[in-house]
Amino acid sequence: RDNCRFYCGFCSSTGSVINFQVQPPTGYTTLMKGVAGVPGDMYQIWTSPATMNANNQQAMYLTNTFKGHYKTDLSQWNSMCLDRIRVSIYKNGQEKAWIEFNSIGANQNNWFDPSRIIASSYTDIKTAAKEVFSMMGDTNTGREFLMSQHSNTQCDTYGWIMISTQNNCPFEASAGGKPAFLYSPGQTSSHFEQTQVGTGDVLAIMGHHGTCIVTVRPTFQVTNTAACVYNNKVYNQGDSWTDGCKYNCTCTDARNGNYQCVELCPTYSQLPQGCSLVKSPGSCCAVPNCGNHVYNPNSNNPAERGLCYYKGDVYSQGEQWDDGCQYKCTCLDATLGRYQCNPKCLSWPNLPSVCSLQAPAPGLCCPQPKCPSNVQINFPPGYKIE
């Protein structure tokens, strides 16, 4: 029992575990993050032109370790090329509920509309009737980013997600400090008054970067033939060309002189720690350099879609490593950069007085108990002396 709490962490006293920093899913960037119980109106923060802790890396992580809200600069919304917006509630670094919206052609505020929902952790949210589905929410109850199915009274309400700013009902009062991030704990809407409502410690709005498409009309018309004109050069229907290392273009409608250009190089919105973009001589596009590891956010291989970063080194999905004689670590979820480190050696706080703790054998890290023959030491199952 005494060994268990240090070896596997299942008992009331836990061993030392290294905290991990939770980042958005691959391809997403955090646009705004709210921390439960930290003063601030999340709707006003989102709609305001101001930023908040925009240059603080700790504020961007999707945990409540940093006691402050976060918001990046959204003033150039149209040039951010966001094709999806994801609203998520996290608890202890785990995503508990999420809704994803199609944001193509939307502005900073009107993407939050039920007709734009494309995926969700809730199976009924796309088809179920909605009473209130609004960022501003219900000003009478102080509920923002409200996704409500229907309400009979103020407290007798059904729905999926809300930000609670007041203690109008028991389920709001029991959620603690405001703002509180409440969610239906299952895969469908819940009766908030009669269900054990889920409470998150972080609400995140994240944007997925799509491909910016630039459609340009010609500055002059070519007589006698239908063609696209780009930088004073003429292209026929279906022709493709590159503009240096900037664009890859195609003549899509020669009759009207229209063409489309897309960015030639992929964009990497958030590289794993320990990686950098490197451009080879003679190449147009910089690619991630992560040492001996491969990083490709669009790969079908999960091991290539992210990395864990620890003390200047990077590790792939499932990879284990030792931190000297102190910790044994495992990369649990490379796409989120999530790893866990457990103490390598057992602790012996209640070793019988007739026993002594011997120094580690040569080549090993951990001291071992030495006891008389009438004292039996039971090691945890699977324990290996290191």
In this prediction, residue 224 carries a pLDDT of 46
User: Phi and psi at residue 114, in whole multiples of 5°?
Assistant: -60, -25
As a whole number, the mean pLDDT across the chain is 85
User: Phi and psi at residue 172, in whole multiples of 5°?
Assistant: -85, -40
In sequence order, which residues have a C-beta less than 8 Å from that of residue 145 and are 6 or more positions away?
42, 43, 87, 112, 134, 135, 137, 161, 162, 163, 203
Q: Alpha-carbon distance 196 to 203, whole Å?
A: 19
13 pLDDT above the threshold of 60: no
pLDDT for 334-376, tens place per residue? 777 788 998 888 888 888 889 998 999 898 999 989 999 888 8
Percent of the chain's residues with pLDDT above 70: 88
In sequence order, which residues have a C-beta less than 8 Å from that of residue 256 and are 6 or more positions away?
none
In this prediction, residue 279 carries a pLDDT of 86
Here the tokens at position 368 are: 């071992």
The answer to whether 41 touches 178, Cβ cutoff 8 Å, is: no
Taking residues 88-114, what's their average pLDDT?
94
Here the tokens at position 185 are: 């704990």
Which DSSP string corresponds to 298-354?
T-SSGGGS--EEETTEEE-TT-EEEETTTEEEEEEEGGGTEEEEEESS---TT--TT
In this prediction, residue 308 carries a pLDDT of 86
Closest by CA position to 297, among listed 332, 335, 337, 327: 335
pLDDT for 58-85, tens place per residue? 888 999 999 999 999 998 888 888 889 9
Query: Can you say how many angstroms the Cα of residue 104 is from the centroid of all Cα atoms in its chain?
Result: 20
In this prediction, residue 1 carries a pLDDT of 41
Q: Alpha-carbon distance 386 to 380, whole Å?
A: 14
pLDDT for 290-333, tens place per residue? 887 777 766 667 667 788 888 878 888 888 999 999 898 999 88
Q: Alpha-carbon distance 90 to 201, whole Å?
A: 6
What is the number of residues in the chain? 386
Closest by CA position to 104, among listed 207, 14, 223, 12: 207
* Banded model confidence at residue 135, pLDDT cuts 50, 70, 90: very high
Closest by CA position to 88, among listed 136, 39, 25: 25
* Banded model confidence at residue 109, pLDDT cuts 50, 70, 90: very high
214 pLDDT above the threshold of 60: no
In this prediction, residue 220 carries a pLDDT of 47
Whole-prediction pTM? 0.55
Closest by CA position to 342, among listed 294, 290, 382, 293: 382
Which residue reads 């102190």 in tokens? 326
pLDDT for 147-161, tens place per residue? 998 887 889 999 999
Alpha helices in the chain (DSSP H): 4-7, 42-47, 57-60, 170-173
The answer to whether 6 touches 172, Cβ cutoff 8 Å, is: no
pLDDT for 15-71, tens place per residue? 444 445 688 888 899 999 999 999 999 999 999 999 999 888 888 899 999 999 999
